Amino acid sequence: MIARGVDCPIASSAGRLFDTAAALLGLCDVNGFEGEAAMRLEQAAGTFPGSEPLAWRLERQGGLWVYDGVSTLRQLLEAKADGEPIGRIAAAFHATIAAVTVPLCERAAAEHDVTQVCLSGGVFQNRLLATDVLARLAAAGFEPYIGERVAVNNGGIATDRRPSPRRGCHVP
């Protein structure tokens, strides 16, 4: 099915990456509700704060810089096979996603001369990830924002409120 592209839509969602990591670590094979796997991954990670990131790399595709998660997922599986605690691996996975966000923003900022970064998407309902990304972006000289009055997930898209660019955002 994958080779023929049948019922296999390409996804760029960070949420699917969290689902994958949770499944590979044996935390959640099937979501009983939207975000369940990511919630279980975050819960496991919370027991190991300050973990170092796993391997990662960026590549240029179609004029855009993208994160290639293959090396991250490979190291995640190797750590699991080596008997590392699942919580420590989950924390390292979170640290990886937070760490890779900064150079992605740096490259976009260099190309478009911006310093403000607005975080959005359901993945930023994850307090561990959001807190780490906000801190790393601020340390790198960015002005990071995250939704406060309007949901960062798809619920924020469905709202009929149209906040000004600064209203409803939180600056750490």
Continuous segment of H or E residues that includes residue 45: helix 36-45
- Domains by residue range for the chain, with CATH: 14-170 (3.30.420.40)
Tokens 């991250």, residue located: 72
pTM, two decimals, is 0.84
Q: Which pairing describes strands 143-147 and 169-170: parallel, antiparallel, or unpaired? A: antiparallel
* Confidence band, pLDDT 50/70/90 cuts, at residue 3: confident
When pLDDT is cut at 50, 70 and 90, the band that residue 161 belongs to is: low
* CB half-sphere exposure, 140, CA atoms < 13 A: 24
Rounded mean pLDDT of the chain?
A: 88
The helix (H) or strand (E) run that includes residue 18 is helix 14-24
DSSP label at residue 149: S
- 51 closest CA partner among 74, 30, 72, 28: 72
Reported as half-sphere exposure (CB side, CA atoms, 13 A), residue 56 has a value of 20
User: What is the pLDDT confidence band of residue 148, given thresholds at 50, 70 and 90?
Assistant: confident
Whether 73 and 67 have beta carbons less than 8 Å apart is answered as no
User: What is the tens place of the pLDDT at every residue in 25-34?
Assistant: 999 998 899 8
How confident is the model over 115-145, as pLDDT tens digits?
999 998 889 999 999 999 999 999 999 999 9
**157 falls in which pLDDT band (50, 70, 90)?**
low
Tell me which of 5 and 95 has the higher pLDDT. Answer: 95
At 158, which helix (H) or strand (E)? Answer: helix 154-158
CB 96 within 8 A of CB 76: no
More confident residue, 49 or 23: 23
Residues above pLDDT 70, as percent of the chain: 87
In angstroms and rounded to an integer, the radius of gyration of the C-alpha atoms of the chain is: 17
Beta strands per DSSP E along 22-139 = 57-61, 64-68, 116-119
